[in-house]
């Protein structure tokens, strides 16, 4: 659902001032629906956006024990000022050190990042079941899988990066930092 802008608001995409009560930017035509909290270039509130960096939607992560909570859902498309091959190298380098993730490049322009984790309920069942029946430890065989897919397509001035799936805040921070480094610079 589109939100109505207030006087003095700027477009998230082209940074032009939007007249009050507008639902779409009159300059670039994009809808101005804002997801709480407002997106930033690095994906987390409180970080300053580099000049020219594309906005990335941020969804707060679910609370829970470390390594047992699902990541945040991400669906984003942005343009970078680098060819797809160079952008892919930056994204692989950024994702390489993230704990718990396996990296699977599918062709030269698609990257799939997967993470397996124990949901919180599995830990609870295992602990309670271990005290009562010793069969509760079998619950530890169950694991959830999250997948983040990053696709790059050539564009006239670089590449269009499409991101969809679920990822931890740490992984999204790494991906967003790599994309911010490849963002087109403005004079």
pLDDT digits (tens, 9 = 90+) for 3-59: 555 555 666 656 666 665 555 666 666 655 433 334 444 444 444 444 454 544 444
7 versus 130: the higher-pLDDT residue is 130
Q: What CATH number is attached to the domain comprising 84?
A: 3.30.310.80
Among 119, 108, 109, 171, smallest CA distance to 142 is for 119
- What confidence tier does 162 reach under pLDDT thresholds 50, 70, 90? very high
- Do residue 2 and residue 77 come from a single domain? no
- Tell me, yes or no, whether 142 lies in a domain: yes
Q: Which domain holds residue 24?
A: 1-34
- Tell me, yes or no, whether 60 lies in a domain: no
* Residue-level pLDDT at 27: 60
Residue 68 has pLDDT above 80, yes or no: no
- Do residue 29 and residue 77 come from a single domain? no
CB within 8 Å of 134: residues ≥ 6 apart: none
CA dist., res. 176 & res. 158, Å (int): 17
Torsion of CA 112, 52, 1, 75, to 10 degrees: 0
Among 76, 78, 60, 79, smallest CA distance to 163 is for 76
Residue 152 has pLDDT above 90, yes or no: yes
pLDDT digits (tens, 9 = 90+) for 75-122: 989 889 899 999 999 999 999 888 889 999 998 899 999 999 989 999
Please give the backbone phi and psi of residue 173, each rounded to the nearest 5 degrees, phi first: -65, -40
- Tell me, yes or no, whether 52 lies in a domain: no
């Amino acid at each position: 659902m589109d939100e109505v802008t207030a006087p003095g608001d700027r477009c998230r995409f082209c940074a032009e001032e939007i007249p009050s009560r507008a639902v779409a930017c009159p300059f670039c035509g994009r809808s101005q629906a804002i997801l709480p909290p407002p997106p930033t270039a690095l994906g987390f509130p409180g970080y300053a956006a580099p000049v020219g960096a594309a906005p990335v939607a941020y969804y707060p992560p679910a609370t829970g024990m470390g390594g047992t909570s699902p990541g945040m859902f991400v669906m984003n498309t942005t343009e970078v000022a680098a060819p797809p091959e160079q952008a892919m190298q930056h994204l692989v380098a950024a994702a390489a050190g993230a704990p718990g993730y396996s990296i699977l490049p599918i062709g030269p322009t698609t990257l799939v990042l997967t993470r397996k984790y124990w949901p919180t309920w599995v830990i609870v069942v295992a602990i309670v079941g271990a005290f009562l029946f010793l069969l509760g430890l079998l619950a530890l065989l169950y694991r959830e899988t999250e997948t983040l897919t990053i696709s790059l397509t050539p564009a006239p001035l670089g590449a269009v990066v499409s991101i969809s799936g679920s990822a931890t805040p740490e992984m999204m921070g790494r991906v967003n930092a790599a994309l911010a480094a490849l963002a087109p610079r403005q004079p």
